[in-house]
Amino acid sequence: MNSEEFQKEYLRVSNKLYTFLFRLTGDSDEAQELLQEAVLRGFRGRRGFRKEADFSTWLYRIALNVWKNRLRKTAREQDFQKYMRAVPLNGALTPEDIFGWNERNKKMDKALGVLEEKYRAPLLLKHIEGFTYREIGGMLDIDENTARMRVYRARHTMRTILEEV
């Protein structure tokens, strides 16, 4: 893959990848740093990109590895309290709607913060980013059934936590 092809593909997925990293970290600066590092690593390794894989899946995997390395390096998990902060203010929402939405998000933030890393990433990849179990497995270096099981357990854990909150 030459640099022009890489740039074209990167521009196609950059916003979604940034949003995913923001949801993982809960911090826009951290997400931007991770995105830059993932893109740099991807660009350097672009000659190793196999065309039979989807570019977005490949770049997401690089970004996930960068994130995991950052967690290991700092020896602590990030605070995930900023997940899903963008309220769609299109004029159709009342203040009561917005307040209810924010309250639900606070509950979701708490529940996501409790989830183990091995369950959080597959859940976000499936339900927020829309990847298939096969793609998730490829990104996380686990088989498809393990990805399916982790998403199931994450949903079950989230449901339990949300009932308690």
Give the dihedral of Cα atoms 67, 71, 74, 78; nearest 10 deg.
Answer: 100
Confidence of residue 151 (pLDDT cuts 50, 70, 90): very high
* Banded pLDDT at 83 (limits 50, 70, 90): very low
pLDDT of 81 reads 34
Report the distance separating Cα 19 and Cα 23, nearest Å: 6
d(CA 10, CA 39): 8
In the chain, CATH 1.10.1740.10 sits at 1-79
Domain 92-165: give its CATH architecture.
Answer: Orthogonal Bundle (1.10)
Beta strands in the chain (DSSP E): none
Q: Which residue has the higher pLDDT, 82 or 108?
A: 108
At residue 82, the 3 state secondary structure works out as coil
pLDDT of residue 146: 94
Residue predicted with more confidence, 2 or 19: 19
Find out whether 133 and 151 touch, Cβ atoms under 8 Å.
yes
CB atoms within 10 A of CB 73: 8
- pLDDT exceeds cutoff 70 at 9: yes
Nearest to 108 by CA among 146, 80, 87: 80
Which pLDDT score, from 0 to 100, does residue 93 have?
A: 46
Q: Report residue 144's pLDDT band, with 50, 70 and 90 as the boundaries.
A: very high
pLDDT at 85 (0 to 100): 38
d(CA 159, CA 141): 26
Name the nearest CA neighbour of 80 among 88, 71, 72, 89.
71
Asked if residues 127 and 119 have their Cβ atoms less than 8 Å apart, the reply is: no
Say which amino acid occupies 68: K
Q: What is the CATH number of domain 1-79?
A: 1.10.1740.10
Q: What residue type is assigned to position 140 of the chain?
A: L
Residue range(s) occupied by CATH 1.10.10.10 in the chain: 92-165
Structure confidence by residue, pLDDT tens digits, 21-41: 888 888 888 899 999 999 989
